[in-house]
Amino acid sequence: MHYDVFNGDADGIIALLQLRLSTPKEHRLITGVKRDIKLLEQVVTRRDATSVTVLDISMMKNIEPLQQLLTQRIPVFYCDHHQSGTIPDSEYLETLINLDAETCTSLLINQQLKGKFVHWAIAGAFGDNLHHHARSIANREGLSPEDTDFLCELGTLINYNGYGATLDDLHMPPAELFQQLLNYPSPFMLREDPESPYYLLQQGYADDYAQVTRLIPLTENQSCRIFELPSAAWARRISGVFGNELANQRPELAHAVLTLNENQQDYTVSVRAPLKNRTGADDVCSLFATGGGRKAAAGINALPCDQKSHFIDALTQYYQSL
C-alpha cells in the first residue's frame, strides 16, 4: 500500500493535491492538525507500506521512522522546507528539500510538475504566508486582481482549517478536506460551486475573526507585538492565520500569538518573524522545551504560564538585537 503523509495545513494539503491531480494513485492518507508533525511513525506501525510520499513535515522530527522505512527498503519521496537535520544517504530515499524562507512545499512541488497546477500552488503559497512570492507568480501567470485575491483567500481558509488542538476543533478533518478538493482540478471551480468547502470555511472564518477584532496587544514595543487568546475552539482555529495577518499589517515587527490551552496551565504559541527579515522564529522558539519550526514561522506547543514573561523578554530581546 502507498501512503501519503502530509501536514494538515494549506501547504501540505495543496502540495499533495498537485501530486495526485497529476498522478492519481491508490493510497492511504496520514495527516492531522497542523502541529501534528510526527506522522511517519504511523506508517511504521501499520506495517503494510510499499512506498511513501512525505510532504511538509520536518525530517528532523521524523528521522527514526524514516530510517526504519529505508532499512526495510521501502521507497520514500520526501519534500519539505522545514528543519531536515542530516539527510540519510539511501538509494530508497528521494528528496526535494529547500530550507529557504521564501519557499514552501507547494512551490517545490509546482517546480517539479513544471507549473501544471500553478494556480493551486499560488493558493498554497498564500496559505503559507508567502504573499509577495505568490503575487509575483500570479502576475507572471496573467491572473486578474480578482482571481489573485480569491487564491489568497482560499489559501488562507485552507490553512485556517488546520489549526486546533484536536480534529474536533476543526471545521473539517484535513484528510476529508483534501479528498473534497481533489474534485476541483482548478481552484477557481470552488468559487463556482455553492456546495464547495470554500464557502463552509469562509463562513467559519468570518465567525471566528469577529472575535479577534476586539483584541488589544498583550505587549507592543519597537521590535514585536504579542497577543493572547483564551482557551476556546474559535481561538485555536484562528490563531495561526491571525498571526499571519498581524505580520502582514506590520512587516517590520515580529509577532506572537499565545493561545491558552484547555489545561489552563500552558499556552500554544505561534511566532512570525518580521516579513522584512524572515529569520529567527525557530531560534526563539527552540529556547523552550516544546518549541521549534522554521526561520520565518515557528511555535511552542506548551509554554508554561509561568514562563510567559520569559518568552516575551526572549522575543523582544532577540529582535532588538538584529
Q: What is the pLDDT of residues 204-260, one digit of tens each?
A: 999 999 999 889 999 999 999 999 999 999 999 999 899 999 999 999 999 999 999
Give the integer Cα–Cα distance in Å for 83 and 96.
13
Cβ atoms of residues 31 and 5 within 8 Å: yes
Q: What pLDDT sits at residue 83? A: 85
Using the Cα atoms of residue 39, residue 94, residue 136 and residue 133 in order, give the sign of their dihedral: positive
Return the C-alpha cell found at 22: 497529476
Buried b (16+ CB within 10 A) or exposed e, 142-181: ebeeebbebbbbbbbbbbbbbbbbebebbbbbbbebbebb
Cell 520569559 -> residue: 310
Q: Catalogue all structural domains in the chain, each as residue range(s) with its CATH number.
A: 2-202 (3.90.1640), 219-320 (3.10.310.30)
Q: What pLDDT sits at residue 239? A: 92
- Let me know the angle formed at the C-alpha of 159 by 135 and 182, rounded to the nearest 5 degrees: 90
* pTM score of the predicted model: 0.91
Q: What pLDDT sits at residue 294? A: 87
C-alpha distances out from residue 38 to 33, 62, 134, 284, Å: 11, 6, 28, 21
pLDDT in tens, the chain (322 residues): 999 999 999 999 999 999 999 999 999 999 999 989 999 999 999 989 999 999 999 999 999 999 999 999 999 999 999 989 999 999 999 999 999 989 999 999 999 999 999 999 999 999 999 999 999 999 999 999 999 999 999 999 999 999 999 999 999 999 999 999 999 999 999 999 999 999 999 999 999 999 998 899 999 999 999 999 999 999 999 998 999 999 999 999 999 999 999 999 999 999 999 999 999 999 999 999 999 888 999 999 999 999 999 999 999 999 999 8
Q: Tell me whether residue 217 is exposed, middle or buried, using C-beta atoms within 10 angstroms of its C-beta: 0 to 12, 13 to 18, 19 or more.
A: middle
